[in-house]
Structure 1
Amino acid sequence: MDSDNEHPSRHPVPGVLARATAELARAGVESPRVDAEWLAAHVLEIPRGRLLLADAMRTDELRRFEALVADRARRIPLQHLLGTAAFRHLELSVGDGVFIPRPETELLAGWGIDVSPPAAVVVDLCSGTGAIALSIAEESKPAEVYAVERSPVALSFLRRNAAGFPLVRVVEGDVTSADLLTFLDGRVDVLLCNPPYVPDGTPVPPEVADHDPAEAVFGGADGLSVIRPVIALAGRLLKSGGHVGIEHDDVHGDAVPQLLLEDGRFTEVTAQIDLTGRPRFATARRR
């Protein structure tokens, strides 16, 4: 570009973004322009919405941006490069070893917020970063929120994210354990869970295969090996009239509601769809 030649220390943002977008598109990144914009905003230390007002990058900024784009082209998750993941109103610390919360899970969290009564006792199983638990704590008025996670690495991120939320109690535990949270038996108003649910052997994108922990993604041969004990646990923990919501794979639109019905302790079993019309989570009430 002529402007680059005239001012070698200043690199116009539109051209920089166009080149980065093309590089990411060639690498198979699903949203190349959006990712390029997030990385540019990160380097420039401005909100993404202000990129239109940014005229140029300095040479040192360009070098850092190009290094990040190269990493993204190698399919390192965008959130790992930024160090955070956005979830509803939160910015959560993320990195290797913890599952990156997905936008579709915001629907489950929102449902949980809507059904939570004042001073609720809420349990978030397979909490990971704490996305659901912290959203509940921030957007409703619970009395207690318990965020349960078993992975030591995920627990480190969960504790870091939960540090500013005194109502959230981090619990190291396995959702398949028979004695998990027995002190809450029959006391819980809302139980939510985004478990590992992808059936073993299902192809997943490189960002998931290489960076999300497999134990947070895959849920056994049929994808239901964690969901089954979660349903049993919900039956034990929930008070009469309490609510349960469980995210699942889009192939489980019939299977998870059926498991809730077969348990016999739940009513108002409902299959919930995401914004693309795919089955995404199932909800029910304790009889």
Structure 2
Amino acid sequence: MAPVHSPQAISPSLRRASAALQRAGITDPDVDAELLAAFVLGSSRGGVQASAVRGDDFTAEQTAHFEQLVARRLTREPLQHITGLAPFRHLELRVGPGVFVPRPETEMVAQLAIDALGAVASPAPIAVDLGTGSGAIALAMATEVTHARVFAAENSVEAFLWTKENFARVDAENATLAFIDLAQAFPELDGTVSVVASNPPYVPDDAIPRDPEVRFFDPEVALYGGADGLDVVRILSQVGLRLAHPGGTIVIEHGEWQGAGIREILARDGWLGAATHPDLTLRDRATTALRP
């Protein structure tokens, strides 16, 4: 028999939830508790904070819902899976089992691609996002560089269901999605692309991600990239050379210790000016290079 819930004050409910989440090892328990409450209330995090200050209550139904969601988060199920939404720059993307949850650090990778795309003199530059997953980088480029044409490739059936939904939600007329392997992606664009971007799988096969949210919930196909984590990067380098025009840019996200290895791969393949860029935490996060 399901427990009977009564209305509960929001402020102490948040404190109890935050304490439980902290004991479970959640990095930002206050933030997660407030975001779960916002989802229950159909509000924003700021709205929840205001409700707590005013002394507002959850209804009985909202109390039960909030406690259910907190219990799921205590198992380290990703917050984004629980709410079904992941913020990315100005976008709100649908995510869930089968697709890699976009991370805040990838916003910086998208910025590198957007800056390179926006600097192109062409009235309609072309960008490609290979292994687009949720569509985060592709849709960011399409909506922030609206005169560009953006093409996105994904080859995971499970991820593609989410990608299609996000492309439909955002409805960017300049964005095209294809279900295709990245090695064969968009032969019709060969030699015309200004920016080739990707957040590929780059975790070495024998490495175990620290966070349970990653280890148990992100799809393996989006995580693991061979013995050194760079198998897909080697393919990206070759595909990028095929797609990009002279002077075109490649932007690849990677782990903090992989910059030197990726610069070596790109230089060996003939890319010029390979450079590695830190994210806001000062960890190396992306490498760029120019097509000769």
**1:119 aligns with one of 108, 124, 127:** 124
Partner of 2:140: 135
Partner of 1:73: 74
Partner of 1:222: 228
User: How many residue pairs were aligned?
Assistant: 277
Q: Which whole-Å deviations, capped at 9, do the CAs of 1:124-143 have from their partners, x for residues lacking one? A: 00100100000001111344
Once residues 7 and 20 of structure 2 are traced to their aligned partners in structure 1, the CA distance between those partners, rounded to angstroms, is 21
Residue 9 of structure 1 and its aligned partner are, at CA, apart by 4.5
SS at match of 1:127: coil
Deviation above 2 Å: which 4+ runs of structure 1? Answer: none
**1:251 aligns with one of 251, 257, 271:** 257
TM-score, normalised via structure 2 length: 0.92
Give the conservation status (yes or no) of the 8 Å contact 2:34–2:49.
no
Bigger Cα displacement from structure 2, 89-98 vs 136-145: 136-145
Residue 56 of structure 1 and its aligned partner are, at CA, apart by 1.7
Gaps of 5+ in 1: 1-7
Residue 276 of structure 1 and its aligned partner are, at CA, apart by 1.1
Partner of 1:155: 160
Once residues 143 and 206 of structure 1 are traced to their aligned partners in structure 2, the CA distance between those partners, rounded to angstroms, is 38
**1:173 aligns with one of 170, 180, 193:** 180
Bigger Cα displacement from structure 2, 200-209 vs 129-138: 200-209
Please tell me whether residue 88 in structure 1 is matched to residue 84 in structure 2. no
Gaps of 5+ in 2: none
Residue 173 of structure 1 and its aligned partner are, at CA, apart by 1.4
Once residues 283 and 168 of structure 1 are traced to their aligned partners in structure 2, the CA distance between those partners, rounded to angstroms, is 22
Q: Which whole-Å deviations, capped at 9, do the CAs of 1:85-134 have from their partners, x for residues lacking one? A: 00000000001000000111100111111111241101000100100000
TM-score, normalised via structure 1 length: 0.94
Residue 166 of structure 1 and its aligned partner are, at CA, apart by 2.1
Q: Which whole-Å deviations, capped at 9, do the CAs of 1:142-174 have from their partners, x for residues lacking one? A: 442111000011111111111112221111111
Once residues 152 and 142 of structure 1 are traced to their aligned partners in structure 2, the CA distance between those partners, rounded to angstroms, is 30
Give the conservation status (yes or no) of the 8 Å contact 2:6–2:63.
no
Partner of 1:35: 32
Give the conservation status (yes or no) of the 8 Å contact 1:121–1:142.
no
The letter for the 2-side match of 1:165 is: A
**1:11 aligns with one of 2, 8, 15:** 8
Distance change in 2, residues 1:142/1:153 (3 Å): farther
The letter for the 1-side match of 2:231 is: S
**1:267 aligns with one of 260, 264, 272:** 272
CA RMSD of aligned residues (A): 1.2
Residue 11 of structure 1 and its aligned partner are, at CA, apart by 1.8
Partner of 1:282: 287
Q: Which whole-Å deviations, capped at 9, do the CAs of 1:207-252 have from their partners, x for residues lacking one? A: 1122110000111110001010001111111001111100011120
Once residues 21 and 206 of structure 2 are traced to their aligned partners in structure 1, the CA distance between those partners, rounded to angstroms, is 27
Please tell me whether residue 58 in structure 1 is matched to residue 59 in structure 2. yes
Give the conservation status (yes or no) of the 8 Å contact 1:125–1:149.
yes
